[in-house]
Amino acid sequence: MALNLDAIGKKIGPVSKEYNWKDLVLYALGVGAGFDELEYCYEDQLKVIPSFSIASVFEFLAEVGISSNVDLSGVLHGEQDIIFHNPIPTEGTLSTEGVITHMYDKGKGRGALVVAEADTYHSNGTKLFTNIFTIFGRKDGGFGGDPGPSGAVDFPARAPDFEEPGTPQSHQPLLYRLSGDIFQLHVDPEFAKASGFEQPIMHGLCTHGYACRAVIKYLFPGEPERMTRFRVRFSKTLYPGVPITTQIWKLEEGKALFRTINAENGEVVIDQGIVEWMSAEEMEMRKGREGIRFDDQVAIVTGAGAGLGRVYALELAKRGAKVVVNDLGGARDGSGEGSSSPADDVVAEIKAVGGEAVPNYDSVASAQGGQAIVDTAINAFGRVDILINNAGILRDKTLVKMEPENWDAVMDVHLKGAYNVTRPAFVKMRENRYGRIILTTSAAGLYGNFGQTNYSSAKMGLIGLMNTAKLEGDKHNIKINTVAPVAATRLTEDILPPDLLDKLKPEFVAPLVLYLCSELCPISGAIYNAGMGYFNRVAIVTGPGTVIGKETEIPSVEAVAAGMEKIRSIKGAEEFPNATASFGPILDAFSPKKKETASEESGGLTVAGVFENIPGAFQPDNAAGVDVVFQFDISGSGGGAWFITVKDGGCEVIEGSHGSPTTTIKMGDDDFVKMMSGELNAMSAFTSGKLKVEGDLMKSQLIEKLFKL
């Protein structure tokens, strides 16, 4: 069972967790807070212990384990580094999304490290923290990979500047686990013994919470929100009830090192601790910059010298982005020499409100222009995080009067223009593993508008560009969305009703565009209408359709004519994430057997049904040399006992109990059905205690390979 190296770059999440003051207090009690730190335990003026952040990501951590295929019987939490961007509010919903970033090889017998990084946002739109997890797979070393950086810190030779004693209670894990990590190792004496321990052990992350409280107490007392980083390495296990001491060395204002030792035997249980915090002055400044921000991000806005583009550029800059203001400064139909003043004027406006911006006067209509626009961002600011393809012209004529030059000019600015700038920007975004791209379509393209065949075609072409770029960007955290604005600008001055002009300001479109440009935005590949503060989503949907003719018989034209009502029907229409998925209904229509299973999966799957399907799901190619008996004890009214024997490349399923199974899996009937139908993730079920494994834990990992349900 090797590590799955292909999982590097795999996106995990979003996973979400709703919480309120009771969750915070429960966590605080779990990590040893009490009357002497009432600010963590009393809802009146409640403060959040920053390490609570970990309670939001247990499910994420479990997913990292499954995706990387780390050997569960040797898995340990290696390191945890948390970067805090904003204070954690006392209630709300946390949404966490991230990727597996590295797998390091410490050598055969020395283990492997799986590193994952995840950002967590609050439901108020603020990015709260970034977690960098390192999982240590004791049994996974020796795959020939890079050993990775050591990241070790040297503690000063002097005695610690501060020492905080802690006394976890003998029942501490029973309290701490209520915050979400209900792994049996910390509660079940039998399980702990089977895992090689005398009794259930402390959660490493519980001791982590003790250490977090200790450093706050000495370094920035009463102000946990000042913490900006908290890094630890979990080095030894600890039994509940054993006293601990957290030792702290303050290196400078804003940075300290720490470790937590077992006060009975001196063993270091939490090592290599780094804590960083901001000054009280920085804290005050941050308060003035709350909300969705673009600090340290670089945005390109094309056609930003006027209209919608100008407002996007200004709003991004006001929220901290450094902006490239591109505009050629031509006429409404794209003719003329061009002028630098529209771009220069917007740059001056941005600077006047304290923002940062540079102008660019290249045309988006050529590949060289597109490259030069991206180069401007790189030369001025070193990166590109956001690209808003907004530049536009109009050359309206009916189809018959539409000469090729008018067709081409509009295509060149809108469709090719977006390609010309997006392509070089995409290269940079991929390097940074981050990007947000906006394309600008129009109701004329989405629905049609008399006299605009050129413009409509170009605007609809952008949807095709988005549909595929969203797939190519997915792995690199590049999200691309399309907006169809409605606003009073030079392009619409003669079309839109003058009495609505106030409400038709581009400012009413910009909030959606900025949201889609933000780190908070989890969406990719969507189309939105936006104008006057009204927003809705546009989608390409596919009707259920029908088969005309039988089996291999080619349908007649007359039969198609007779079936048009069903063919045209859009009732029960579906959206598809990609072209391959759209073939599903066609294939299903000719595969009744598959259809039956699918409907069963979504509705009537039963525990007995799962076991009936096992022989058909067996993968003999993966069973070479495997000799195991899996016993399933499924509780609940729909449950029962079954065992599966896999031996000599064959598989047999028998109802009942085996005398000496290799591995026993215990689960409730509902959870089992959910897990088998893909609704419940096996690793989450395991770590949350819904799935219990007895006997050879490692062999249980074979199940996924041996059966494709």
What is the x/- site pattern for ligand NAI, positions 429-448, by CB under 6 A?
Answer: -----------x-x------
Shortest distance, position 356 Cβ to ligand NAI, whole Å: 21
Contact 517, 336 (CB under 8 A): no
> Does 181 engage in binding with ligand NAI (CB under 6 A)?
no
The CB-based long-range contact list for 597-601 (8 Å cut-off, 24+ gap) reads: 601/677, 601/678
Residue showing the smallest CB distance to ligand NAI in the complex? 307
Stretch that binds ligand NAI, among 63-71, 158-166, 362-370, 581-589 (CB under 6 A): 362-370
| 392 scored as a contact of ligand NAI (CB under 6 A) | yes
* Nearest distance from C-beta of residue 122 to ligand NAI, angstroms: 32
- Encoded tokens for 204: 């490493």
Stretch that binds ligand NAI, among 19-27, 39-47, 106-114, 325-333 (CB under 6 A): 325-333
- Please, are residues 698 and 72 in contact by the beta-carbon 8 Å criterion? yes
Q: Which two tokens stand for residue 335?
A: 């003719």
Distance of closest approach, residue 302 Cβ to ligand NAI, in angstroms: 5
Rounded Cα–Cα distance for residues 404 and 351 (Å): 42
CA distance 602 to 268: 50
Of positions 94, 216, 227, 328, contacts ligand NAI by CB under 6 A: 328
418, containing H or E segment: helix 417-432
- 360 versus 684: smaller Cβ distance to ligand NAI: 360
Is 49 a binding residue for ligand NAI by CB under 6 A? The answer is no
How many of the other CB atoms lie within 10 Å of CB of 691?
Answer: 21
- DSSP category for residue 507: G
**How far apart are CB 442 and ligand NAI at their closest, in Å?**
4
| Strand duo 691-695 + 663-668: pairing | antiparallel
Q: Is 210 a catalytic residue?
A: no
**Which residue in the set 326, 376, 452, 518 belongs to the binding site for ligand NAI (CB under 6 A)?**
326
Rounded distance between C-alpha atoms, residue 315 and residue 522, angstroms: 21
Residue 457 Cβ, how far from ligand NAI at the closest point, in Å? Answer: 13
Residue type, 90: T
Indicate which single residue of 30, 160, 329, 359 sits in contact with ligand NAI (rule: CB under 6 A).
Answer: 329
Indicate the residue among 168 and 342 with the shorter CB distance to ligand NAI. 342
Instruction: Return the closest-CA partner of residue 398 out of 407, 410, 386.
Output: 407
Q: Which of 363, 477, 518, 681 binds ligand NAI (CB under 6 A)?
A: 363
**Is residue 78 part of the contact set for ligand NAI (CB under 6 A)?**
no
Under the binding rule (CB under 6 A), the answer on residue 491 touching ligand NAI is yes
Say how many CA atoms lie within 13 Å of 11 toward its Cβ. 16
**184 or 441: CB nearest ligand NAI:** 441
Under the binding rule (CB under 6 A), the answer on residue 364 touching ligand NAI is yes
**3-state SS record for 120-183:** EEECCCCEEEEEEEEEEECCCCCCCCCCCCCCCCCCCCCCCCEEEEECCCCCHHHHHHHHCCCC
- Identify which of residues 396 and 670 has a Cβ nearer to ligand NAI in the complex: 396
Closest to ligand NAI by CB, 3 or 328: 328
Q: Which stretch binds ligand NAI (CB under 6 A): 163-171, 176-184, 384-392, 578-586?
A: 384-392
- Count of residues touching ligand NAI (by CB under 6 A): 34
Closest separation in Å from C-beta 484 to ligand NAI: 6
Q: How distant, in Å, are the alpha carbons of 25, 50, 52, 97, 281 from that of 47?
A: 9, 9, 11, 25, 19
Residue closer to ligand NAI, measured from CB, 272 or 390: 390
Q: How far is the CB of 222 from ligand NAI (least distance, A)?
A: 50
Q: How far is the CB of 473 from ligand NAI (least distance, A)?
A: 21
Q: Which stretch binds ligand NAI (CB under 6 A): 56-64, 194-202, 386-394, 426-434?
A: 386-394
**397 vs 433 by CB, closer to ligand NAI:** 397
Determine which one of 121, 218, 434, 455 is catalytic: 455
- Give whichever of 206 and 530 is closer to ligand NAI, judged by the CB atom: 530
Half-sphere exposure of 168 (CA within 13 A, CB side): 35
Which residue, 211 or 510, is less far from ligand NAI as judged by CB? 510
Residue with tokens 């691309």: 480
**Residue whose CB is less far from ligand NAI, 18 or 333:** 333
Q: Minimum Å distance from CB 135 to ligand NAI?
A: 46
The stretch near ligand NAI (CB under 6 A) out of 239-247, 256-264, 388-396, 611-619 is 388-396
The torsion region of residue 412 among left (phi > 0), alpha (psi -120 to 50) and beta comes to alpha
Point out which span in 130-138, 147-155, 204-212, 360-368 binds ligand NAI (CB under 6 A).
360-368
Residue selected from 257, 357, 393, 530 as contacting ligand NAI according to rule CB under 6 A: 393
Task: Enumerate residues 458-487 that contact ligand NAI by CB under 6 A.
Answer: 484-487
Nearest to 212 by CA among 158, 279, 166: 166
Nearer to ligand NAI, 208 or 310 (CB): 310
Q: Is 334 in the site for ligand NAI (CB under 6 A)?
A: yes
| Residue 414: CB minimum distance to ligand NAI, A | 6
Backbone dihedral angles phi then psi of residue 268, each to the nearest 5 degrees: -85, 120
111 binds ligand NAI (CB under 6 A): no
* Binding pattern for the stretch 1-40 against ligand NAI, x by CB under 6 A and - elsewhere: ----------------------------------------
Tell me: does residue 80 bind ligand NAI (CB under 6 A).
no
Q: How far is CA 34 from CA 28, 39, 165, in A?
A: 8, 9, 14
CA-based torsion, 688, 689, 690, 691: positive or negative: positive
Buried b (16+ CB within 10 A) or exposed e, 160-198: bbbebebebeeebbebbbebbbbbbbbeeeebbeeeeee
Taking the complex as a whole, the smallest distance from the CB of residue 505 to ligand NAI amounts, in Å, to 11
DSSP annotation string for 172-231? HHHHHGGGS---GGGT-HHHHHHTT-SS----HHHHHHHHHHHHHHHHSTT-GGGEEEEE
State yes or no: cis peptide before 555, omega within 30 of 0: no
Among residues 139, 62, 71, 145, the alpha carbon closest in space to that of 102 is found at 145
Cβ atoms of 627 and 646 within 8 Å: the answer is: yes
Contacts with ligand NAI, 284-323, as mask; x by CB under 6 A:
------------------xx-xxxxx--------------
SS3 296: coil
Of 247 and 489, CB closest to ligand NAI: 489
DSSP E strands in 302-392: the ranges are 322-326, 356-360, 386-388
Per CB under 6 A, does 390 bind ligand NAI? Answer: yes
The radius of gyration computed from the CA coordinates of the chain, to the nearest angstrom, equals 30
User: Any idea how long the chain is?
Assistant: 709
Stretch that binds ligand NAI, among 95-103, 249-257, 315-323, 363-371 (CB under 6 A): 363-371
Is the Cβ of residue 338 or residue 585 nearer to ligand NAI in the bound state?
Answer: 338
Q: Name which position in 123, 492, 613, 635 contacts ligand NAI (CB under 6 A).
A: 492
Query: Other CB atoms closer than 10 Å to residue 649's CB: what's the count?
Result: 13
Q: How far apart are CA 649 and CA 663, in angstroms?
A: 18
503 interacts with ligand NAI by CB under 6 A: no
By the criterion CB under 6 A, which residues form the site for ligand NAI?
Answer: 302-303, 305-309, 326-330, 332, 334, 342, 363-365, 390-393, 413, 417, 440, 442, 484-487, 489-492
* Residues annotated as part of the active site: 455
